[in-house]
Amino acid sequence: MKDKYTIGKKVKKNPETWKPNDFDGWGRGEGIGTIVEEIDEKEVDVKWTSGRCHEFIDELILVEE
């Protein structure tokens, strides 16, 4: 699964696995995000409309362009 979540890929939150945190208040997980960094095999850095946040891959869904 990790090889699919690479820099430049578009993602959105997976409503079935999403775990809210304090950053949701500023727009984390809203709309479509872009992966800007691969942290490790389970986590990526996503640029959302309102900022960036580290996200676990299992909380995301790839968006087909």
DSSP for 1-65, written as a single string:
-GGGS-TT-EEEE-TTT----GGGGGTTT-S-EEEEEE-SSSEEEEEETTEEEEEEGGGEEE---
pLDDT given for residue 28 in this prediction: 94
CA count, 13 A, side-chain hemisphere, 21: 12
Q: What is the mean pLDDT of each run of 10 residues along the chain (65 residues)?
A: 85 97 92 96 95 96 88
